[in-house]
Structure 1
């Protein structure tokens, strides 16, 4: 009987980062899908759950098109219909793998892999951001407002599902209709594949006869495309994005970001904007204006928009009041500037410290950036010290920062 592994060895810990990196790249992969492999995985999930394969697969162009198609085809969760959606049932194969991992590996080992593999890939995949974008679009926009490719894909798919003309093209989806949430995330759920496959690599032969690694491979195949919606009657699947733009911070996996346009887009024209990993409205990237910043309700969006404008430019355009200025003792040759920040910007009274990065960017320039600080910080030096958790006197004696 295999010995239960409680703690990871040092070599296994060192292997987590490159393993997460490979799966992070997969999560945002724009290459085509091996549809034979994908169907093998989906069929295996049906078989494991002892559910008849419906024999009918339809593709949509994007997650939004998939959700729209379900609504137009009047697929719903009303009593008598909800058991035809199989997302929960078909996760049984995934749960079986989780159980096998739990029996083979102790809590400390599982926690370490969750932190070192699952979480980094989950952040990169941005599945929650895509799901929230679909939810917001369904609740606030009509099909007519979508890109024409999304409309065409949704309508064609719904017609294939129903065999008839579809209606409700100009109707906002009612809030109580939540059928689309019964999907599986495809590449957006790559974090679980990374987690399970890492254990598969380090398990050795102790579980060779259990079949759990084979099941993990089948789940990964089933999740190798975009969103998919399994039911007793059909399988609806969305294609993965065709365009992804990312950035890399030192020592970190890639994250969605583009300062000049959308960061992720599908072939039907649906696209989303990200600023350093945070999803933002298109205006933040395309037309960031001070007036829009001050009218924006979401604090994170306001922060991203100010960064897109540039703190130095924002301060000038917004006419912020200068409170104090001083030479930066942690960055010789550059100064610190402390400004009052209007309460409407951050939601509470605050000030902002304008400072210069301690090291040059790739283009050789030093980036000016703003750091919000409490409203009772009275001097620029004390504000800089506060950002480091230091006193003003301690900051005055620190070495050059980076």
Structure 2
């Protein structure tokens, strides 16, 4: 069963990461049917080349309503009605599922599907699609329109797995709605439904990811250029899942790093250079070094940095996927002069408590 679940997860992950041109006829037909199901005429379709262009262009001979602006996406009437349709589908399927999964073996199978398919794909969607959306529209982490959650492939992958792995029967209405949402998920990724016009983004022409989770989760990462690139030239640079300005990947100079105020972006840029090389290029002064009691055979090195800050250079306690142990830097307050005390501070421990660790990870 785990092998079958992994195969279904890979299949749906392939749809999420696809760089093939969108299947426009299939997407338009399915979205038109969804409009009919909520009592609306099929919309006019406005295809754009990237998510960045989606809400920055106005379809020909169409004017946006005052309510149909990005800041009020969750108030748009059509996304709200489609969300209710999906909620109704979930309610019907969940009731049917409870009837079909009364036996312990079936409940265990449902748990397996959720853990190895739904949760894994939701994490990958967040790390791939949401990263692009935030890069395009600069949404803060605490304010992210719920409509994008409706587009996550994990929902349809879950129901697809239920049908294929449990043999659970669905009613005609449920089958129809499931098939329509599934077709949209497989044909394109991002779309924005308005009352009479639906804007749909093409897929990217290039995408680079890395595996970062135990269940095959992926995130955007590319050390030699954009992690995602669209046909119109819009792109997203990413370092191990963090969206960064292009200079972090293309030209991470000491001067640019020094001017960067965002701590996460500065960290990514330094990692791109390599901590040891950055310390050498920047001419950081070594304050002190000591054997790492929490990581036998490794050394802690404490350096002065700009302002009232110091950086602790350490070696990861566990190996990466390639078998190497990564060297990384942690910023600590400038009053530390003992690298062991600084290392303890990063764990919320005193120097004495950190010294007694058997091994950290």
Shorter-chain TM-score tier: 0.7 to 0.9
Match of 1:259 in 2: 223
Q: Which residue among 129, 133, 136 is the counterpart of 2:135?
A: 133
The partner residue of 1:209 within 160, 163, 171 is 171
User: Which of 97, 105, 114 in structure 1 is aligned with 2:89?
Assistant: 97
1:101 and 1:199 in contact (8 A); partners too: no
Q: 2:234 aligns with which of 270, 278, 283?
A: 270
Q: 1:351 to 1:316 in 2, by over 3 A?
A: same
Partner of 2:54: 66
Which residue does 1:310 correspond to in 2? 274
Give the 3-state SS of the residue equivalent to 1:69 in structure 2.
coil
Unaligned runs of 5+ in 2: 99-106
Q: For structure 1, which segment, 70-79 or 45-54, has the greater mean C-alpha deviation from structure 2 after superposition?
A: 70-79
Matched, 1:191 2:154: yes
Deviation at 1:246, TM superposition (A): 1.0
Q: RMSD of the alignment, in Å?
A: 4.1
Q: Give 1:185 deviation, angstroms.
A: 5.4
- In structure 2, relative to structure 1, the CA distance for the partners of 1:297 and 1:397 (3 Å cut) is closer
In the alignment, the residues of structure 1 paired with residue 76 and residue 339 of structure 2 have an alpha-carbon distance, to the nearest angstrom, of 62
Structure 1 partner of 2:103: none
Matched length:
340
Point out which structure has higher relative CO (alpha carbons under 8 A, 6+ apart): 1
Asked whether the equivalents of residues 97 and 213 of structure 1 are also in contact (C-alpha less than 8 Å), the reply is no
Compute the displacement of 1:117 (Å): 4.2
> 1:326 and 2:290 equivalent?
yes
For residues 210 and 376 of structure 1, the distance between their equivalents in structure 2, rounded to whole angstroms, comes to: 68
CA shift for structure 1 position 299: 2.5
1:271–1:72 CA distance, 2 compared to 1 (3 A) = farther
SS at match of 2:57: helix
Match of 1:339 in 2: 303
Q: Deviations over 1:341-387 (max 9, x none)?
A: 435xxxxx553221234577788865422123455654223444555
> Quick check: 1:57 aligned with 2:45?
yes
Deviations 1:41-93 (A, max 9, x none): 21221221122224x43422112232232278663223799999633333343
2:30 is the alignment partner of 1:41 = yes
Q: Give the direction of change, closer, same or farther, for the CA distance of 1:80–1:28 in structure 2 (3 Å limit).
A: closer
Contact 2:298 2:315 (8 Å CA) reproduced: yes
**Structure 1 regions of 5+ residues with no counterpart?**
1-10, 138-180, 344-348
Could you state the TM-score of these two structures normalised by the residue count of structure 1? Answer: 0.69
Q: How far does residue 263 in structure 1 lie from its aligned partner after superposition?
A: 0.2
- Change in 2 beyond 3 A, CA 1:200/1:302: farther
Would you say 1:239 and 2:231 are equivalent positions?
Answer: no
**1:135-193 C-alpha deviation (Å, 9 max, x unpaired):** 259xxxxxxxxxxxxxxxxxxxxxxxxxxxxxxxxxxxxxxxxxxx9996599632333
The offset of 1:233, in angstroms, is 3.5
**In 1, distance between residues paired with 2:178 and 2:351?**
54
Match of residue 340 from structure 2? 381
TM-score computed with the length of structure 2 as normaliser? 0.75
Asked if the contact 1:49/1:92 (under 8 Å) is kept, the reply is no
